[in-house]
A and B are shown apart, each in its own frame.
Chain A
Amino acid sequence: MTRYVMVADLRRCIGCQTCTAACKQANSTPPGVQWRRVVDIEVGEFPNVKRVFLPTGCQHCANPPCEEVCPTKATFKKDDGTVQIDYDLCIGCAYCAVACPYDARFKVEKENFAYGDEPMPHEAQRLNKATIGVAQKCTFCNDVVEAGVASGHKAGEHPDASPACVNSCITGALTFGDKDDPESQVNKLLDQSEHFRMHEEIGTEPGFYYIWDKKNMGDLL
């Protein structure tokens, strides 16, 4: 079996938003829509304060609440563990966006461009009308990963088989790969470090792991 997951190392992330921008370019999302983003959280009280930079987006849950509420089965789990949306089936009811505990889904009602109503050439080139009026979110760059794997690359271990956010990350904070492959980089990282998943207690079983330094960050998070 295959279970694609993302690992974010919070010791490395600096909230620079390069991944956010790379995702926007790769997926040509309109202004304000960020399938990948890094949340900048301040914890503690003056003078004992820290900032935590938390990459987030669709957690590709094993038990996705978004899938459960979808009336048309547009949201579905793939056999690689990712959660995807069939835009043709989606009716844009946005139940999924409400159900998602990770605030990861977006709905855009009309075409929207960086500088007003007219697209720039690259926006026109990449315009995906299928995403208008329906739910949209991070796909783990599924088409790229699929093509890369089909070309013989190991998912997450070659740029041609990795999501744009992972490729772009300047601190090496993001790692992608197959959790079911004991030799994968994600397993090696998780085996060596303390980690958690967001809102694990609600049983979503996210496919997004956070490596942290519990000793130094545990009292603050």
Chain B
Amino acid sequence: MTETRYVPTYCYNCVAGPDPMKVRVDNGVACEVVPNFDMEEMHPGNGRVCVKALGLVQKTYNPYRITTPMKRTNPKKGRDQDPGFEPISWDEAFDVIAEKLEALRAKGLTDERGLPRLAATFGHGGTPSAYMGTLPAFLASWGPIDFSFGSGQGVKCVHSEHLYGEYWHRAFTVCSDTVNTRYIISFGFNPESSGGPSAARRHADARVRGAKRIQVEPHLSVTGGASAEWVPIKPKTDLAFMFALINVLLHQSPRESLDIPYLRDSTSSPYLVGPKGYYLRDPESGEPLVWDSEAGVAVPHNTPGVKPALEGCFTVAAAYELGPDKEKYPYENIDGNTAFTLMVQSMEAYTPEWAEQMCDVPAQTITRIAKEYLDNACVGETIEIEGETLPFRPVSVVLGKTVNNGWGAYHCVWARTVLATLVGALEVPGGTIGTTVRLNRPFGNRLASVQPGEDGFMVSAMNATDKENWESAPSGRNAHKALVPIVNSGAWSQALGPTQLAWMFLNDAPSDWMRSTFPDVWFLYRSNPAISFWDSKQMVSIMAKMPFIVAFAYTADESNHMADILLPDATDLESTQLIRAGGTKFVEQIWEHEGVILRQPAVDPQGETKDMTWIATQLAKRTGLLEKYYKALNRGAGGIPLKGEGFDYSLDPSVEHSVEEVWDAACKAATSDYSGGKEVKDLEWFKENGFYMVPYKRQDWYLYPTLKAKGLRFELPYQERLKRVGEELKRRLHEQGVHWWDEQLEEYEALPAWDDVQARYNKALEHMGGTEEQFPLWGVTTKSAQYSAGNNAGIQLMDDVANNVRGHGSVIINAQTAQKLGIGNGERVEVRSIIGFTRGRAELVQGIRPDTICIPGQFEYWKTPFAKDLDYPSLNTVIPMSLELTDSTGSGADLVRVSVHRLGGDS
């Protein structure tokens, strides 16, 4: 007789989660992951989890798991070294770690360079925090920690969208309002692979409803396959296409077809710009001026009842421009153009015919798509949402990873956001909307983060660039505060800085920059940067020099191969944590509910593996930080403040608490908070019920109503502040004699101009000693639903099912190109770049440009059990880490020039 029970819990393996699920446990053995139909009506993915979650049973019972703490016995580190890991007790492991950490504290938390002696690296998109229990409270109690050693942050995320999306419309991530939209232009956005059940369901419903999505990308992705049309664009020339779309809207369409009231009243379009490129300001108030079209005079933008002119050049009697370092440039009778007029002028040359030359998409295709976009925008129409009348603009433009990273990405995000404003489709029903904030507070409520700032815009804190406050001696190894003002200095900021610089500068920094130092101790959790970052060989060699690595280890892998101590944490189906869910957040998790959801052990932890909350508590105890740790937990470092208005479930900081006590307090605090004190649910209740949700208003999916209510404008199209900040940053760096960031500083343009990114790559290749003739093809990558951000290449089930997907584990090549190169389907090929090669089976297809090859996912494992035997290629192996190919935000793109040749023999 089988005794069966279903345990409610969640999957948050990628940022498209969390998604609810149940674990079927037969006779005490976890056997299946199934949907949680109790949440079918609430969850935008209908209570389902994606394929990755179904790998969690194998993840639990994988025979290759590390199930006891281990210590390294071979002091030599390197890929070719056997670490000689030997099992030890938890006591011994903590003794070794505590000794290291105490020694570190005794020396000082920062080293002679002022850099933190303790560093920590976590995996994908903040998802580790949904598994690390109370570890954040330990980190908070420690003091300065360097989070700048990335494992893909900045190069594998949607970096410019994170920074500029949040700056322009509180959109750390951006999506279409898919449930209302009619027309989506997607530049490589791939939600069918990386958007989880929520995005997949929303887009499927939209397709059946008749919504049309145009997929613009060099390789026909899964999302492209599920789109109405595929436009095979040259890699990294998306900007030309987008500029041409703007050109058609501004120069080939009646002006009244645009949303004039939106542009005039909700953007900076009418602000007058002076000869130096800064706003003309009112001498008395300092506010930017607009031209009052009725009174025929320049007035501050915030003059009550003013109807500003949208376009034109006007003579202003008295004004000044505010330049860098508070320099003022006063004028009398000075001509000022509106920001809109300057944009119209700047976009005039970017015709579809011009774009065709740049991006290899026929001019008539671009023109048709621009007109379809405009036709579907429904300018002037409204929709009622929960009794409120809002604009209805069912068109959207969304961007994928490589469009969003590296050179040209700032421009593309600008163009995408401007395309939305031109038809009034930014942050309104049907349009382009944001889902979450991570650089502005409060986290989790982007509407509340909208506060009045300067010049009629939202406040957006930036790292200082003035002489007194600029951080001339970086406090972190990627210098995010010094180099990237827009990334700010919050909890997420450092990991969103130039993470590859942290790695590169350990090896070799520019001569006019400080030498970097290795951290004394490096913590690694749910992350394998030796695989997930570029130039894997260099990464491994740098990691091998890390003096002391503590790795939370699931199985042996390519990164923890260099570790000194391995700590086996209880995994997804074995551990406890309460996290927030619902509202709006990453990718397309857009709910009509918000609340909390519990992860709980469906089965006992395997071997000696331990819950992360227990591990964090022991670390705090052994390092004498227990009191600070509990105080941090009480403040909310575990994700839920334990004390709030009308409730107090604070933990006594003077005594140790069990894992269950900690999360019981969190359950009670969260339910008290969400219910306004009406309901208090404890851990036992959550174990039975799984989640607690309250309604979340649909109106709150959109930022526009909040902006209107606060009388604010979107800071578009003109980037006066960025221009000023860029100039200040240039001065600061030059004052220090630093010139290696000069090219990046050129990105601080008030109105972005065409950036020939392919030419940058060709130039960089030349500087590295290669030629376009040697490497005639472009290498790109694509995500797959089975692996995206899952760190699950060691799960056999994923490979089993992924083998049904075209291109899995292969080098995808255009069939005609392959024929010319003498490559047959299934033959082994070598893909070579200026830094090395990767090898795999060729898959010949029609759905890729002849000048491009694509390698899906991230493979080429050499240590991870099961994965190491797959013999799949990886683009990461052949992409260089290059300062020259790093943009002003510190990001680079998944792109590389390659050659391909046949090795012979079937795979």
Please indicate which of the listed interface residues B193, B230, B816 has the most CB atoms of chain A within 10 Å of its own CB.
B230
Do the beta carbons of A16 and B192 come within 8 Å of each other?
A: yes
CA distance A16 to B31 in the complex (A): 21
A122 touches B48 (CB 8 A): no
| Interface 1/0 per residue, B836-868 and A, CB below 8 Å | 000000000111111000000000000001100
Residue A16 contacts which of B50, B207, B224 (CB distance < 8 angstroms)? B50
- Whether B31 contacts A39 by the Cβ 8 Å rule is no
By a CB distance below 8 angstroms, the chain A residues around B205 are 172
* CB <8 Å contact, B232 and A46: yes
Find out whether the CB atom of A126 lies under 8 angstroms from the CB atom of B26.
Answer: yes
Q: Within the complex, what minimum Cβ distance (angstroms) separates A163 from chain B?
A: 12
Option from B31, B197, B796, B806 in Cβ contact (under 8 Å) with A114: B796
- Chain A CB within 8 A of B693 CB: no
Specify which chain A residues have a CB less than 8 angstroms from the CB of B230 in the assembled complex.
47, 49-50
Stretch at the interface among A22-30, A68-76, A96-104: A22-30
Instruction: Report the minimal beta-carbon distance from A186 to chain B, rounded to whole angstroms.
Output: 16
Report yes or no: A18 in contact with B61, Cβ–Cβ below 8 A: no
A47 contacts which of B201, B232, B802 (Cβ < 8 Å)?
Answer: B232
Question: Considering residues A20, A51, A124, A168, which has the most beta carbons from chain B within 10 angstroms of its beta carbon?
Answer: A51
Over the window 12-34 of chain B, the binary record of Cβ atoms lying under 8 Å from chain A Cβ atoms (1 yes, 0 no) is: 00000000000000110111111
* B208 & A168 in contact (Cβ 8 Å cutoff): no
Is B200 within 8 A of A118, CB to CB?
Answer: no
B55 in the interface, Cβ–Cβ < 8 Å? yes
Number of contacts between A and B (CB, 8 Å)? 174
Q: Are A51 and B220 in contact (CB under 8 A)?
A: yes
| Residue of A16, A20, A44, A115 with most partner-chain B CB within 10 A | A16
- Given A120-B62, A120-B63, A122-B61; A21-B801 close (CB under 8 Å): yes
CB-CB under 8 A for A34 and B801, given A9-B208, A51-B222, A53-B226: yes
Is B845's CB under 8 angstroms from A14's CB?
no
B685 within 8 A of A: no
With A11-B204, A170-B48, A170-B50 as contacts: A46 and B846 at CB distance below 8 Å: yes
Distance of A9 Cα from B204 Cα, bound (Å): 10
Contact residue among B26, B51, B196, B846 (Cβ-Cβ distance under 8 Å from A21):
B51
| Residue B785 lies at the interface, judged by CB distance under 8 Å to chain A | yes
Residues of B in contact (CB 8 Å), total 65
Contact A25 B27 (CB under 8 A): no
Q: Contact at A51–B847, with CB atoms within 8 Å?
A: yes
Chain A residues with CB below 8 A from B200, complex form: 14, 16, 170-171
Closest beta carbon of chain A to B30's beta carbon, Å:
6
Please state if A14 and B226 are interface contacts (CB–CB under 8 Å). yes
In the assembled complex, the Cα of A14 lies from the Cα of B205 at a distance in Å of 12
A203 vs B198: C-alpha distance when bound (angstroms): 39
Known A49-B847, A50-B230; judge A118-B797 contact (CB<8 A).
Answer: no
Partner of A168, one of B48, B58, B804: B48
CB-CB contacts of B45-64 with A at 8 A, as 1s and 0s?
11011110011011001111
- Inter-subunit contact B204/A172 (CB<8 Å): yes
Q: Chain B contacts of A167 at CB under 8 A?
A: 34-35, 37
State whether the Cβ of B129 lies closer than 8 Å to any Cβ in chain A: no
On whether the beta carbons of A15 and B225 are closer than 8 Å, the reply is yes
Q: Check if A78 is an interface residue, CB within 8 A of chain B.
A: no
Q: Which of chain A's residues have a CB closer than 8 A to the CB of B800?
A: 24, 31-32, 34, 114
Complex interface: chain A residues within 8 A of B317 (CB): none
**Cα–Cα, bound, A159→B22 (Å):** 13
Chain B residues 168 to 212 lying within 8 A of chain A, measured CB to CB, are: 192-193, 196-197, 200-201, 203-205, 207-208
Residues of B contacting A45 with CB < 8 Å? 846
- Complex interface bits, B226-238 against A, C-beta within 8 A gives 1, otherwise 0: 1010101000000
List of B residues within 8 angstroms of A120 by Cβ = 58, 61-63
Query: Once the chains bind, are A12 and B208 in contact (CB under 8 Å)?
Result: yes
Contact with B along A106-128 (1 / 0, CB 8 A): 00000000111010111111100
CB<8 Å pairs between A and B, sample of 9: A17-B51, A17-B801, A25-B33, A28-B31, A49-B230, A49-B846, A167-B34, A167-B35, A173-B204
Q: Across chains A and B, which 10 residue pairs bring their CB atoms closest together, nearest first?
A: A51-B225, A120-B61, A171-B204, A170-B197, A17-B801, A114-B796, A21-B54, A12-B204, A16-B785, A18-B51
14 new A-B contacts, CB < 8 A, other than A16-B200, A17-B804, are: A12-B207, A14-B223, A15-B785, A16-B51, A18-B48, A40-B225, A42-B220, A46-B847, A46-B850, A52-B225, A115-B63, A124-B29, A172-B201, A172-B205
